[in-house]
Chains A and B, each alone.
Chain A
Amino acid sequence: MIELTDVHKSFGENEVLKGITASVQKGEVVCIVGPSGSGKSTILRCINGLESYDRGEISVEGLKVDRDAPSIVKIRTQVSMVFQRFNLFPHRTVLENVIEGPLYVKKEPRAHALERGRALLVQVGLAEKADAHPPQLSGGQQQRVAIARALAMQPKAILFDEPTSALDPELVGDVLGVMRKLADDGMTMVVVTHEMGFARDVADRVLFIDGGVIVEQGPAKALLNQPQHPRTQDFLRRVLHPL
């Protein structure tokens, strides 16, 4: 449902994506791993038009991603995003954060949006925090609210941009737990992450990206357990055995 064909992207002189070709099938969980600065996040940001790309083509369910075209709104309501730094709206309560999109973008009736918003908070284990404001929550709780906000749009896919990188280690598990449940329920997910355990257990496929190109890709377990390319081997060694 998500297709990238020879996507190039530069920031000034710096070419961060040097021809990315990949696809994500419906119901698939794809993890993107690689060293920082390799262009992982940029790929996600291009898919829902937060960044433009210079060459190649990205399409979501056959619809070309062009951040300057009106169709971008349709794409964004179908492909939600969860950010590294949560980006919840601090001036609204947890529940208001979740129903903001359904109410103002999709124009759902308020009662309907509220009901589903509460159900989503139950799903991420935060029903009792509905009336709290985001700054009162821990990072892990905030990220789970952000996932509920993404789900509230009833998206066909969710993009996760390093969703646990800003969390204290003991809070990572809760967020990964919610994501694992989503994967089990058949949600299409593209996850940029450094959590190799999550990638191995939950992902169907892993893409290893370095220097703006896909160095290696394949089924999660195979790629993470027996990487073929020396750069993948080197990266995984350093991530899994930092000392």
Chain B
Amino acid sequence: MKGFWHDAAEFFPILMSGVVLTIVVTIGSLLLSTVLGLVWAMMRVSGIRVLSMLSASLINVIRGIPIIVLLFYLYFVMPDLGVTLSALQAAILGLGIAYSAYQAENFRAGIEAIDKGQIEAAQSIGMGWWLTMRRVVLPQAVRIVLPPYGNVMIMMLKDSSQASTITVAELALQGKLIASSTFKNTNVFTLVALMYLTMSIPLILLVRHFEKRAGKK
């Protein structure tokens, strides 16, 4: 145990630089997946056949490809097509696209859970589609969508470790590098696990808060 605390103190600064990248990748892909997910969801509920079918097939294609393959594609294949991305850009783009499919389905479920009477009331006072969405549907859907959204945040935090496969030196990769050079597998990976857990706990509490609030009304 004494050895652990000693190692922890020694490796902590290096691992912290990994934590920073982990957070950057997580937040970046969270934002991207939220925006893309909203776009897919809006297309899906637009009532315009072409848009909703396009969105449905896009979501299925994204869902059917493993994140890691998506990352390899962006990082290793895109340069052949003339688009060179940094590892960090590819990671954020890949995770963002991959998760946009789940976000979209979550948002769509939230939007479709809103009572049809709400939409009719909005229309009856002359609101168009977009105004109805913005003023009536989305503000109510947020309440429904937030708890699963929180869970997606937790999953993204952990899946950001997949960025290590395309050389992003985030927490998992830093841990692996230290472990392979010091052979202190147990201590290093225990520390890495604890650091992920520490970052997850606030998110877990946040989800619990969302769930309580959603359950109230």
A residues bordering B, Cβ < 8 Å?
48-50, 73-74, 76-77, 80-81, 83, 85, 87-91, 100-101, 104-106, 135, 149-150, 153
B residues bordering A, Cβ < 8 Å?
115, 117-118, 120-128, 131, 135-136, 139-140, 143, 217
Given contacts A73-B128, A77-B125, A135-B217, contact A83 B120 (CB under 8 A): yes
Given contacts A89-B136, A90-B140, A90-B217, contact A101 B125 (CB under 8 A): yes
Instruction: Label chain B's interface by main secondary structure.
Output: helix
**Can you list 13 A-B contacts with CB-CB less than 8 angstroms, sorted by A residue number?**
A48-B124, A49-B123, A73-B128, A76-B123, A76-B126, A81-B120, A85-B117, A87-B115, A88-B121, A100-B125, A104-B127, A105-B126, A135-B217
Measured CA separation A105–B123 after assembly (Å): 10
Measured CA separation A18–B143 after assembly (Å): 43
Q: A50-B120, A104-B135 are known contacts; what are 16 more A-B pairs with Cβ within 8 Å?
A: A49-B123, A76-B124, A76-B126, A80-B124, A81-B120, A83-B121, A85-B117, A89-B122, A89-B140, A91-B140, A100-B125, A101-B125, A104-B127, A104-B131, A105-B127, A153-B126
Measured CA separation A89–B123 after assembly (Å): 12
Q: Which of A80, A85, A91 has the most CB of B within 10 A?
A: A91
Nearest residue, chain A, Cβ from B125: A101
Total A-B residue pairs with C-beta atoms closer than 8 Å? 59
Q: Which of B126, B139, B217 has the most CB of A within 10 A?
A: B126
- Chain B residues with Cβ under 8 A from A150's Cβ? 124-125
B207 to chain A, nearest CB (A): 21
- Quick check: A73 and B126 within 8 Å, CB to CB? yes
- Quick check: B124 and A50 within 8 Å, CB to CB? yes
- Quick check: B120 and A105 within 8 Å, CB to CB? no
Measured CA separation A193–B211 after assembly (Å): 41
- Chain A residues with Cβ under 8 A from B143's Cβ? 91
- Chain B residues with Cβ under 8 A from A85's Cβ? 117
A71 to chain B, nearest CB (A): 11
Nearest residue, chain B, Cβ from A77: B126
Q: Which of B125, B136, B217 has the most CB of A within 10 A?
A: B125
